[in-house]
Amino acid sequence: MKTRKLGTLEVAEIGYGAMSFASTYGTAPDRAEAIRVIRGAYDLGVTFFDTAEVYGPFTNERLVGEALAPVRDRVVIASKFGWNVDPDTGERRPGLNSRPEHIRRAVEGMLERLETDTIDLLYQHRLDPAVPIEEVAGTVRDLIACGKVRHFGLSEAAAHTIRRAHAVQPVTAIQSEYSLWTREPEPEILPLCAELGIGFVPWSPLGQGFLTATISPSTRFEGSDWRNNFPRFTREALEANQGMVTLLKDMAAAKGATPAQVALAWLLARQPWIVPIPGTRRLDRVRENIGAADIPLTAADFEQIAQASARIKVQGARLPEALLQLSYR
């Protein structure tokens, strides 16, 4: 696979989001199967893997650490701090926590769980309004200086927060939800990334599965699947948003591709410093996602997608209200 630059960090042009192996999308596969898929992704050319302490909590980092231990020197691992997770027990407590002492303790736990000496890319998962972003950036700067972290990132941060953080410690990457049906980063975040030389990592680049054209209004999710609580995944919203699926199906048919590949190819073609991290529990889907890099989109294709998507009013907020309030602050 070709590579791209997130700031100065070189990664494969399509990464892998490991959160899919948490219980977020219903009962996770057994550990051996999860490790097989993660290692299979590496064998297919993926070198950029994304996790977080809160996924589990802790269990996802341990899984990623074990799966990638044999190839640790050949991959880039990103993780995230910021939720109020007890560093010793993994107990999830209410609210956020980016106090400097908490960040330092969180990183020590990450290093152990990921079976590594350094975290390649460390994100603040959400802005903690109780801690100035300059303190957060300064703490990560110190962790970089002592070799425990290589690069600093922010997730779901507003433009003014990114600027303030970048002035203290250069930000390598911004991670936010971005896809054909989630366009919030376009007005301010993407232009700022271009200005400051920061990479952009779209999470949920396939719309939590919707843009793969495998979800219909009649789809029912497991009880523990978090999409049951998302406004865009009500029966009414799924039905109203089928126009987006039709758009992708039509373009996919013309390209000899799948809807998922078109959705990822669209992101790749937006900017050379955009690196999506689709997540899946299936190796055949990893192979399909990687194939998006070989789908060329012309200027005419972009215009067709732009005109068609402009006529589609996506129904439903992208996240529940409580999570939306924590984004772009």
**Cα 210–207–257 angle (5° rounding)?**
65
Please tell me the distance from the alpha carbon of residue 227 to that of residue 188, in angstroms, as a whole number.
Answer: 27
Q: Which fold has domain 3-324?
A: TIM Barrel (3.20.20)
Q: Is the pLDDT of residue 112 over 90?
A: yes
58 touches 113 (CB < 8 A): yes
Please tell me the distance from the alpha carbon of residue 175 to that of residue 275, in angstroms, as a whole number.
Answer: 10
Domain boundaries, given as residue ranges, for the chain: 3-324
Residue 26's pLDDT is what?
A: 85
Helix (H) / strand (E) element for 168: namely helix 159-168
Residue 24's pLDDT is what?
A: 84
Please tell me the distance from the alpha carbon of residue 322 to that of residue 300, in angstroms, as a whole number.
Answer: 39
What mean pLDDT comes out for the span 115-138?
98
The 3-state DSSP class for residue 296 equals: coil
- Please, is 1 exposed, middle or buried when counting C-beta atoms within 10 Å of its C-beta (0-12, 13-18, 19+)? middle
Is 55 considered catalytic here? yes
Residue 27's pLDDT is what?
A: 86
Catalytic residue from among 55, 123, 178, 328: 55
> Which residue(s) pair with 119 in the sheet?
149
Question: What integer best gives the mean pLDDT of the chain?
Answer: 97
Residue 176's pLDDT is what?
A: 98
**Taking the model in full, what pTM does it have?**
0.98
Residue 6's pLDDT is what?
A: 98
Please tell me the distance from the alpha carbon of residue 268 to that of residue 206, in angstroms, as a whole number.
Answer: 13
> Which residue(s) pair with 154 in the sheet?
124, 174
What pLDDT, in 10s, does the model give residues 61-94? 999 999 999 999 999 999 999 999 999 999 999 9
Cis peptide before 57 (omega within 30 of 0): yes
Residue 28's pLDDT is what?
A: 84
Which residue from 109, 134, 8 is spatially nearest to 59, judged by alpha carbons? Answer: 109
What mean pLDDT comes out for the span 25-40?
93
Please tell me the distance from the alpha carbon of residue 4 to that of residue 104, in angstroms, as a whole number.
Answer: 29
196 touches 166 (CB < 8 A): yes
Residue 177's pLDDT is what?
A: 98
Please count the residues of the chain: 329
Q: Is the pLDDT of residue 21 over 90?
A: yes
> Which residue(s) pair with 124 in the sheet?
81, 154
Instruction: Read off the pLDDT band of 302 (50, 70, 90).
Output: very high
